[in-house]
Amino acid sequence: MENDCLSILDKRTNTNYEVPFYKGTIRAMDLRKIKTGAEDFGLMTYDPAFMNTASCHSSITFIDGDKGILRYRGYPIEQLAEKCTFLEVAYLLICGELPTAEQLKAWVNKVTHHTMLHESTKHFLEGFRYDAHPMGMFISTVAALATIYPDARNIHDAESRRLQMYRLIGKVPTIAAYTYRHGLGYPYVYPDNDLSYTENFMNMLWRMAEPKYQANPVLARALDVLFILHADHEQNCSANVMRSVGSSQADPFVATAAAAAALSGPLHGGANEEVLRMLDEIGAKDHVPAYIKGIKEGKGKLMGFGHRVYKNYDPRARIIKQTAEQVFEITGKNSKLDIALELERIALEDEYFVKRKLYPNVDFYSGIIYQAMGFHPEMFTVLFAISRTAGWLAQWEEMVNDPEQKISRPRQIYTGHEIRDIVPMEKRGSSAISTSRP
Ligand code: CMC
């Protein structure tokens, strides 16, 4: 026991406790036995933003932030991006192994046959204003699917869970494409089952009057690679939301919508949209030094830089840079690339960024590619959400099957008033906070 436990001396009571190590951690519940007396609740840990708390076991994604390593189910992201399709990777994330040819065929077939949206969903989308943000439409529409598939509440049935996964992975590109066409005022294009996942998505986005849309194979593959890179990232903010909402046994549609809402924030998936705004604001390569000076003086953050886990180059950003070159050969170079490269060059040499280990993350270059392909910035986070749906579902499935998981419910350190009596209205002083509008 001596070497496989942590010895804690509580100086309040002069009591020594032995807390066993558990897979390189200690179980927070073991600290509860550290008490000052029978009335004491027991010791808790305080960890805002979960900076040092493992909330689950997971065998899906491995990240070594110091070395810049990302693996799904043990496979390096570089190999997956080179050798697999997005749907193959989605299978890997959810089922745990790469599919055989036969398994992949059946998986693709299932997903493809769930791409169609119920007509009432189409009408639901039509209710949004012409300028509604696509991410708001996406989140609401994914949640609305729960009303069409009430069987999704049957979360303890493995077969039912799998059916909802086919539905979600199949339908998110359709919803995304419809949000895009809604903004443009174009009629919606129904899915085409003869096409691959990304070709079908491109067809639903960009087909106009032609009888058959021909996606450029280089662009379709680039989109597939971007989907692979974004498919999962262990316990990030949105995966944590997926697990947390799912832990209440809510159905996977509303849990996915909640995860997508978390993704939409500018510190998470919304960063790709913000990067483009930032590059527009900078305007030209020679304005970069002044912009970086402003950031160092505390005027905002360099969007697309920094990461909670990576303290080295984000391996996804490296692959995206290569993908960008292939895309630009077809589309022509995005003029923002020069500004981005200059920003990266200066930031990586600058003491402020070096000291804080701030490197470009996945969002730094993805928006530049998406824009070159024809997407406007409001769509970028929706594209992220399409592929992350596979990761969220893998995290959800793992959580549902984990016997140790219960409803998520953190503790707090209460800092409010002690008990007090209500003062009658006429005796309340002016110190009460005003709730009237200015
Ligand atoms: N620009 C300038 N300074 C930064 C940046 C940045 N992008 N990111 C972190 N810092 C500074 C921060 O001010 C702090 O400095 P100090 O020690 O002087 O207070 C230090 O670096 C540590 O940062 P932090 O905010 O404590 O780090 P965090 O782990 O809480 O935040 C982050 C991680 C990704 C939210 C943050 O780096 C950030 O806001 N980056 C910009 C937004 C972004 O690109 N997000 C996408 C993340 S990757 C994809 C995804 O998750 O969806």
Q: Are the C-beta atoms of residues 64 and 309 closer than 8 Å to each other? A: no
Q: Is 236 in the pocket of ligand 1 (CB under 6 A)?
A: yes
Instruction: Determine, yes or no, domain membership for 175.
Output: yes
Does residue 158 share a domain with residue 12?
no
Closest alpha carbon to 384 in 261, 294, 205: 261
Can you tell me which residue has the tokens 């089922």? 95
Count Cα neighbours of 183 within 13 Å in the Cβ-side half-sphere: 20
C-alpha span between 23 and 12 (Å, rounded)? 29
Q: Is 267 in the pocket of ligand 1 (CB under 6 A)?
A: yes
The pair of three-digit structure tokens given for residue 328, joined into one six-digit string: 């630009």
C-alpha span between 199 and 141 (Å, rounded)? 22
356: CA distance to ligand 1 center in Å?
A: 9
pLDDT-derived band at 404 (thresholds 50, 70, 90) equals very high
pLDDT digits (tens, 9 = 90+) for 232-248: 999 999 999 999 999 99
Percentage of residues in the chain with pLDDT exceeding 70?
98
Does residue 302 share a domain with residue 203?
yes
pLDDT-derived band at 436 (thresholds 50, 70, 90) equals low
Q: Would residue 307 show up in a list of annotated catalytic residues for this protein?
A: yes
Q: Is 361 in the pocket of ligand 1 (CB under 6 A)?
A: yes
Specify the residue with its C-alpha closest to ligand 1, atom 14: 356
**Backbone Cα Rg of the chain:** 25
Among 133, 251, 268, 314, the active-site one is: 268
Does residue 143 share a domain with residue 20?
no
Q: Which atom of ligand 1 is nearest to the CA of 49?
A: 30
pLDDT-derived band at 399 (thresholds 50, 70, 90) equals very high
Quote the number of domains for the chain: 2
The CATH number of the domain where 284 resides is what? 1.10.580.10
Range of the domain at 11: 5-45
Closest alpha carbon to 399 in 227, 206, 255: 255
Does residue 33 share a domain with residue 82?
no
Q: Is 311 in the pocket of ligand 1 (CB under 6 A)?
A: no
Instruction: Determine, yes or no, domain membership for 418.
Output: no
pTM: 0.93
Does residue 373 share a domain with residue 306?
yes
**In the prediction, which pLDDT does 431 show?**
61
Return phi, psi of residue 97, to 5°.
-135, 160
Q: Are the C-beta atoms of residues 188 and 122 closer than 8 Å to each other? A: yes
**In the prediction, which pLDDT does 333 show?**
85
**In the prediction, which pLDDT does 435 show?**
57
- The mean pLDDT value for 93-109 works out to 98
Instruction: Determine, yes or no, domain membership for 233.
Output: yes
Q: Which atom of ligand 1 is nearest to the CA of 237?
A: 51
Specify the residue with its C-alpha closest to ligand 1, atom 15: 356
Percentage of residues in the chain with pLDDT exceeding 90?
89
Q: Which atom of ligand 1 is nearest to the CA of 236?
A: 51
Instruction: Determine, yes or no, domain membership for 55.
Output: no
Does residue 163 share a domain with residue 39?
no
* Best residue among 52, 352, 358 to mutate for probing ligand 1, ranked by most atoms within 8 Å of CB: 358
Q: Is 344 in the pocket of ligand 1 (CB under 6 A)?
A: no
Mean model confidence pLDDT for the chain: 94
Instruction: Determine, yes or no, domain membership for 63.
Output: no
Helix, strand and coil percent figures for the chain, each rounded to 5: 55, 5, 40
30: CA distance to ligand 1 center in Å?
A: 32
Does residue 20 share a domain with residue 108?
no
**In the prediction, which pLDDT does 335 show?**
83
C-alpha span between 149 and 154 (Å, rounded)? 10
**In the prediction, which pLDDT does 105 show?**
98
Does residue 109 share a domain with residue 21?
no
The pair of three-digit structure tokens given for residue 380, joined into one six-digit string: 């970028």
Does residue 14 share a domain with residue 125?
no
399: Cβ–Cβ under 8 A, 6 or more apart, which residues?
56, 242, 243, 246, 247, 405
Among 350, 363, 402, 421, the active-site one is: 363
Q: Is 117 in the pocket of ligand 1 (CB under 6 A)?
A: no
SS3 at position 19? strand
pLDDT digits (tens, 9 = 90+) for 255-314: 999 999 999 999 999 898 899 999 999 999 999 999 999 999 999 999 999 998 988 888
Does residue 154 share a domain with residue 91?
yes
Q: Is 63 in the pocket of ligand 1 (CB under 6 A)?
A: no
Instruction: Determine, yes or no, domain membership for 140.
Output: yes
Q: Is 354 in the pocket of ligand 1 (CB under 6 A)?
A: no
Does residue 294 share a domain with residue 241?
yes
Count Cα neighbours of 286 within 13 Å in the Cβ-side half-sphere: 0
pLDDT digits (tens, 9 = 90+) for 27-54: 999 999 999 999 999 999 999 999 999 9
Instruction: Determine, yes or no, domain membership for 414.
Output: no
Does residue 258 share a domain with residue 363?
yes
Instruction: Determine, yes or no, domain membership for 71.
Output: no
pLDDT-derived band at 421 (thresholds 50, 70, 90) equals very high
101 pLDDT exceeds 70? yes
